[in-house]
Chains A and B, each alone.
Chain A
């Protein structure tokens, strides 16, 4: 049969970031794939060498809007590994809370996008509305919805006020019933089963061979989580479980992420419960010559930073390895032999890093009215009523 080449990207409505996939198909079957990246290459490693250790924290926070905690977290741990120094207990707990908040909003964002890719926009609407609550929580804790600027080598920049804690816990508790509903709706849904079960299987051997990370590896039965394997922050002080499933298909990756959201909520609440008092900063003065490695579990897998210092106030070399760098090549192992219609969801299943900072409020300048979430729901219900009346449905 004749081979056809189908290009996806570099700019494609399905992808929020530029990546270029060249799919070779025979009829409906994908027989080969080539991935071109580099459209987003900004030379941040090079840029970081021209900044001081403190300034670098802000530069690398801007690597990604969604993982804006993971990169500073790994980087500060690398700098602390050079000295070496332990950060104060309270700072460890605050770091853990921020990192888990980020995991919840990142996983919810992915779940919404996955629903959108499957043509199931109800999931998309629900999860992104839930995500708003978490972003509000982050705004209460840090002052920002993304790019929290909380981390610095040696500790954190801002303390959590004790009067904020009950508000935050109440807000987090309020999303749990909807999440439970969503979990049942997604995991038991026959449409999602039909589209994701047995699709894009990454075998355990391939996961090890490609050095896959995070939910991508855990869905294939590889119990790999930096939070458990080499604990940092407060992860060894609070109770939580690592979610591992064994089929390796898109459905299992979805299940891992949905269940991890519940674990993250557990971790955050435990951290608030046991939050110790004391200092939040170890006050690092000088960074001696040497090299350090920091790695943490980002929402998508391990985020790895290597920093070398020569005793001046700037790093000599700063290597950044984001989790998608290891996960994207697994696309080659999962997509070949599948249908072209499944290619997009298989790609989405590894959760390549998307960037988004949208807000809910819609401004109507003509009528000078700002719609809230409740108003939009009311409007949508009215519209449905009108449509039902028109069609004669009761």
Chain B
């Protein structure tokens, strides 16, 4: 399948789910979709288009929490980034680790650093942060404040 066919196909198949398609360059496409359709779109891209899941990256912007799921279709060298915007304060989305195992760890990571709840994830334990890190403190959020008075994290940087 060629690049245009893939995009056309996606537009037709998920015309109710897609909010906006940003055709940035020949190798990069950003598609914004509704958060509730993530499972259908992602599993179509992963299983039918035979894409590889690169990773997901969460971004805290002023009005909402964004997650970008990056998929690479290797045969045509096209990197599709699915963008979902979650309205604060209800930060919840379906977990992709039910479709493929590769999403398991990255969802655990986003859960602990941004505080997004992944529904249906089998194991949302902490991945990177230490055990004495307090609950409800998320280091990559915009409103993060240093909580540990003895920490040397913010000194002299």
Q: Please give the residue numbers on chain A whose beta carbons come within 8 Å of chain B beta carbons, in ascending order.
A: 37-38, 41, 43, 45-47, 50, 81, 84, 206, 208-211, 224, 229-230, 291, 293, 295, 302, 304, 306, 308, 316-317, 319, 321, 325-326, 328-329
Q: Binding site of B, secondary structure by majority: helix, strand, loop or mixed?
A: mixed
Q: Report the Cα distance A43→B139, complex, angstroms.
A: 9
Name the CB-closest residue of B to A318: B57
Cross-chain contact B28 with A210 (CB below 8 angstroms): no
Query: With A229-B72, A229-B77 in contact, is A38–B129 under 8 Å at CB?
Result: yes
Give A228 Cβ to nearest chain B Cβ, in Å.
Answer: 9
Q: B residues 127-157 with Cβ under 8 Å of A?
A: 127-130, 139-140, 153, 157
Cross-chain contact B101 with A319 (CB below 8 angstroms): no
Q: With a CB–CB cut-off of 8 A, which chain A residues contact B129?
A: 38, 41
Q: With a CB–CB cut-off of 8 A, which chain B residues contact A84?
A: 25
Q: Report the Cα distance A210→B68, complex, angstroms.
A: 19
Could you list 24 examples of A-B contacts with CB < 8 Å?
Answer: A41-B128, A41-B129, A43-B153, A46-B140, A81-B28, A84-B25, A210-B100, A211-B53, A224-B52, A229-B72, A229-B74, A230-B77, A293-B70, A295-B79, A304-B54, A306-B55, A317-B57, A321-B55, A321-B106, A325-B55, A326-B102, A328-B105, A329-B104, A329-B105
Q: With a CB–CB cut-off of 8 A, which chain A residues contact B79?
A: 230, 293, 295
Interface string of B119-130 (1 = CB under 8 A from A): 000000011111
Cross-chain contact B128 with A38 (CB below 8 angstroms): yes
* Number of cross-chain contacts by CB at 8 Å: 83
Q: Please give the residue numbers on chain B whose beta carbons come within 8 Å of chain A beta carbons, in ascending order.
A: 25, 27-28, 30, 52-55, 57, 59, 68, 70, 72, 74-75, 77, 79, 81, 100-102, 104-106, 126-130, 139-140, 153, 157
Q: Report the Cα distance A293→B75, complex, angstroms.
A: 18
Name the CB-closest residue of A to B75: A229
Q: Report the Cα distance A208→B106, complex, angstroms.
A: 16
Name the CB-closest residue of A to B142: A316
Cross-chain contact B27 with A304 (CB below 8 angstroms): no
Query: With A38-B129, A41-B129, A229-B74 in contact, is A306–B57 under 8 Å at CB?
Result: yes
Cross-chain contact A38 with B126 (CB below 8 angstroms): yes
Cross-chain contact A293 with B157 (CB below 8 angstroms): no
Cross-chain contact B102 with A210 (CB below 8 angstroms): yes
Cross-chain contact A209 with B100 (CB below 8 angstroms): yes
Query: With A211-B100, A326-B102 in contact, is A304–B70 under 8 Å at CB?
Result: yes
Q: With a CB–CB cut-off of 8 A, which chain B residues contact A326?
A: 55, 102, 105
Query: With A230-B77, A295-B54 in contact, is A38–B72 under 8 Å at CB?
Result: no
Q: Report the Cα distance A41→B157, complex, angstroms.
A: 18
Query: With A43-B153, A306-B70, A326-B102 in contact, is A38–B127 under 8 Å at CB?
Result: yes
Q: With a CB–CB cut-off of 8 A, which chain B residues contact A293?
A: 28, 70, 79, 81
Q: Report the Cα distance A224→B52, complex, angstroms.
A: 9
Query: With A209-B102, A316-B59 in contact, is A230–B27 under 8 Å at CB?
Result: yes
For the complex of A and B, list the 7 residue pairs with the smallest distance between their C-beta atoms, beginning with the closest: A211-B102, A319-B57, A321-B55, A38-B128, A229-B74, A230-B77, A41-B128
Give B67 Cβ to nearest chain A Cβ, in Å.
Answer: 11
Cross-chain contact B100 with A37 (CB below 8 angstroms): no
Q: Report the Cα distance A37→B131, complex, angstroms.
A: 11
Q: With a CB–CB cut-off of 8 A, which chain A residues contact B70?
A: 293, 304, 306
Q: Report the Cα distance A37→B53, complex, angstroms.
A: 21
Q: Report the Cα distance A295→B72, complex, angstroms.
A: 10
Give B77 Cβ to nearest chain A Cβ, in Å.
Answer: 4
Name the CB-closest residue of A to B129: A38
Name the CB-closest residue of A to B81: A293
Q: With a CB–CB cut-off of 8 A, which chain A residues contact B157?
A: 47, 50
Give B83 Cβ to nearest chain A Cβ, in Å.
Answer: 10
